[in-house]
Amino acid sequence: MENNTSNEYVRGTLKTIVLNLLADNGRMYGYEITQQVKERTAGEIVLTFGALYPVLHKLEQEGQLLTESEAVDGRMRKYYTLTTQGAETARTKTNDLERFMEAIRLLLSPPADPSTGLATERG
Amino acid sequence: MKRLTDDRITDFKNYLRESGLGEALLPELLDHLACEAEERLWEGQSLEKVIENLRSEIDPDTLKQLSSDHKDLLAMEDSLNDIVFENRNKLYGAYALRREYSGHVQRATFIGVGIFILLFCLPELYARLNPEPQKDDIVFEVEFSPITIKPEERHLPPPPVEAPPPAPVKTVRDLPPLVLPDEQVLVEHLPPTVEMLENALPGQETVDGTEITEFLVPPTEVTGKGDVVEIKPEPEKEYTYAEQQPEFYGGSEAFGKFLQKNLNYPATAARAGVQGKVFIEFTVGTDGRIERARTIKGIGFGCDEEALRVVNLMPNWKPGKQSGVPVRVRYTLPIAFQLE
């Protein structure tokens, strides 16, 4: 997949992706999230730091995430965890996205056999 | 696992700070970059290569974009704009325009109102700064000159001339009689006789002064309200003009009729064709009588005499009055002689 188009789809689903990952792993930091996404999609989807950090901060502002900072190797590392509200949001968002993908799949897959459908109506 | 030295990390930090990254993002991004670098080092790339690649990936423009995105996203409220643009491309200009719309409107309003007020106030301001003298302004130029004030010399009234003491009046010693022992009684101090007091006043001593012949008569008691003051005409003064001028009884109309009746055109004047006005001066007395009539300007040919005759023939006039008091008024009357 071309990177540009991938980004376009990612932009809409980024929140869902982040929330979902945190729901699975519990406690993560920024770079870890990008690495996880890269590994699990085999490099198909690459989260750029430019897109990821604003979204993380936004979610934190909304009260979906909690943060804690730890000193690691002479630098501060910020860990994110879901709040109860965030967990709730993660569930609904994931469900929504699945339904949406299902719909898209239906939309993109070739129609079963339009001729027969029409034939039965005629017959 | 290879690790970055603290110096390297400080380098990264400085680089990010120089690129204008906000404090909110800096520590996280630093960690991210460090992790990335360590990852690549671990994969076997050389340190220089890694740093070079990262620098090219994370150029200042990208960081700037990140900062602004971050700011926008955090500042974003759930406004209509966000709902409209939720899943649309916000980098396209429309979103920015809409977001800043209210700010623009506010600024425009202030500027507009400011210009409007300025337009209205400018003439007033100008007038205040340059007051122009108007044509119909009344200006007084007052020059001051020093005035020396001299103390006023007081004219003291002359000391009253002491009147010469009145001539001693003839008096006769007449003291109230005292009861004394016989030996102290002086024979010369006998009480005065009636004859002695006839022309003298009783006093302490007997003085040979002027004899008193007049005796003070006590004033008779005034009964009634006193005399009513009558306004008497002033006979002496003769006015040339009075507040109420004397007048022929019946006015100018009656006077005209009187003249018509009594005035005759002298035959000589008529023959010579003389016409004009004769001015007769006379005094109207307080009782309205015509006195001391004389011609002050005539035309001759018997006209003057005729005019004078008619004037003397006139009945009494209504006298002139000054402050309501009838007065004598010197009056000049023109009498016209005119041929028909």
Tens of pLDDT, residue by residue over B193-204, are 787 777 777 777
Query: What percentage of chain B has pLDDT greater than the value 70?
Result: 85
Return the pLDDT at A92: 92
Domain ranges of chain A: 3-110
For residue A113, pLDDT over 60 is answered with no
Min Cα–Cα distance to chain B from A19, Å: 17
Tell me which fold the domain A3-110 belongs to.
Answer: Arc Repressor Mutant, subunit A (1.10.10)
For residue A50, the chain B residues in CB contact (below 8 A) are 62, 65-66, 69
Question: What average pLDDT does range B90-105 have in this prediction?
Answer: 84
Q: Residues 6 or more apart from B287 whose CB is under 8 A from it?
A: B316, B319, B326
Say if residue B105's pLDDT is above 90: yes
d(C-alpha B204, C-alpha B171), whole Å: 8
Asked whether residue B289 carries a pLDDT value surpassing 90, the answer given is no
Q: pLDDT higher for B84 or A41?
A: A41
User: Cβ A54–B35 below 8 Å, yes or no?
Assistant: no
Instruction: Give the pLDDT band of residue B217 (cuts 50, 70, 90).
Output: low
B171 strand-pairing partners:
B201, B207
B248-273: average pLDDT: 85
Q: Which two tokens stand for residue B173?
A: 């010693």
- Distance in angstroms (rounded) separating the CA atoms of residues B211 and B121: 104
Cβ neighbours for B258, distance < 8 A, ≥ 6 positions apart: B248, B314
Q: Which helix (H) or strand (E) holds A71?
A: strand A65-72
> 3-state DSSP call for residue B118?
helix
CA angle B259, B264, B266 (to 5 degrees): 140
Chain A nearest C-alpha distance from B32 (Å):
5
Specify the pLDDT at position B23.
Answer: 75
What is the arithmetic mean of pLDDT over B153-179? 74
Out of A67-81, B122-136, B304-318, pick the least confident: B122-136
Confidence of residue B64 (pLDDT cuts 50, 70, 90): confident
Closest alpha carbon within chain B to A72: B31
**Dist. CA A46–CA A4, nearest whole Å:** 11
Examine the pLDDT at A118 and tell me if it is beyond 50.
Answer: no
Percentage, residues of chain A above pLDDT 90: 17
Give B173 or B309, the one with higher predicted confidence. Answer: B309
pLDDT of residue A100: 92
Cα A94 from chain centroid (whole Å): 8
Helix (H) or strand (E) holding B9: helix B6-18
**Tokens (6 digits) for B105:** 């409107």
pLDDT at B306: 87
Percent of the residues in chain A that have a pLDDT greater than 70, as a whole number: 85
State the Cα angle at A66 between A63 and A68, rounded to 5°: 150
Is residue B21 scored above 60 in pLDDT? yes
**B25–A50 CB contact, under 8 Å:** no
| CB atoms near residue B70 (< 10 Å) | 21
- Region B11-26: what's the mean pLDDT? 79
Beta strand extents in chain B (DSSP E only): 171-173, 201-203, 234-239, 276-284, 290-297, 320-322, 325-337
Compute the distance between CA of residue A94 and CA of residue A15 in angstroms, rounded to an integer.
10
> Pick from A12, A30, A73: which is nearest to B28 by CB?
A30
Q: For residues B22 and B27, what is the distance between their CA atoms, to the nearest angstrom?
A: 10
DSSP letters, A76-102, are EEEEEEE-HHHHHHHHHHHHHHHHHHH
* Beta pairing, strands B325-337 & B234-239: parallel
Instruction: Please name which of A74, A76, A49, A29 lies closest in space to residue B4, comparing C-alpha atoms.
Output: A74
> Would the pLDDT of A23 be above 60?
yes
Task: Give the A-side interface with B, CB within 8 Å.
Answer: 12, 29-31, 34-35, 49-50, 53-55, 57-58, 61, 69, 72-78
Per the CB < 8 A criterion, the answer to whether B289 and B316 are in contact is: yes
Rg (CA), chain B: 66
- For residue A117, the 8-state DSSP code is H
pLDDT of the residue at B241: 84
Q: What is the pLDDT of residue A1?
A: 44
**B207 exposure class (CB count in 10 Å sphere: 0-12, 13-18, 19+):** middle
What is the pLDDT confidence band of residue B43, given thresholds at 50, 70 and 90?
confident
Answer for the pair B211, B170: CB distance below 8 angstroms, yes or no.
yes
**3-state percent breakdown (helix, strand, coil) of chain B, nearest 5:** 40, 15, 45
Complex prediction ipTM = 0.74
Q: What is the dihedral sign for C-alpha B254, B255, B258, B259?
A: negative
CB contact under 8 A, A74 and B6: yes
pLDDT reading at B250 higher than 60: yes
Are the beta carbons of A75 and B9 separated by less than 8 Å?
yes
Rounded CA separation A6/A13 (Å)? 11
Interface test with A, best of B25, B26, B35 (most A CBs within 10 A): B35
Mean pLDDT of chain B: 80
B112 phi and psi, to 5 degrees? -60, -50
- Amino acid identity at A32: E
Residue indicated by tokens 């004394």: B180
**What is the pLDDT at residue B44?**
82
Check if the beta carbon of residue B332 is closer than 8 Å to that of residue B281. Answer: yes
CATH (residue range B237-337): 3.30.1150
pTM of the predicted protein model: 0.41
Mean pLDDT to the nearest integer, A98-104: 92
- The percent of residues in chain B predicted with pLDDT above 90, rounded, is 6
Distance from CA of A37 to the nearest CA of B (A): 14
Of A20-29, B111-120, B125-134, which range is least confident?
B125-134
Contact (CB<8Å) A78/B69: no
Dig out the tokens for A104 from the structure. 């898209």
Domain ranges for chain B: 6-74, 78-129, 237-337
Burial of B163 (0-12, 13-18, 19+ CB in 10 A): exposed
Per-residue pLDDT reduced to its tens digit, B135-163? 777 778 888 888 888 887 777 777 777 77
Which residues of B make CB contacts under 8 Å with A? Answer: 3-4, 6, 9, 24-25, 27-32, 34-36, 39, 58, 62, 65-66, 69-70, 73-74, 76, 87
- Find tokens 């920015």 and name the residue: B96
- CA dist., res. B309 & res. B303, Å (int): 10
- Residue B114: pLDDT band with limits 50, 70, 90: very high
How is residue B315 written in tokens?
Answer: 């009945």
Amino acid at B213: T
Q: How many residues does chain B have?
A: 340
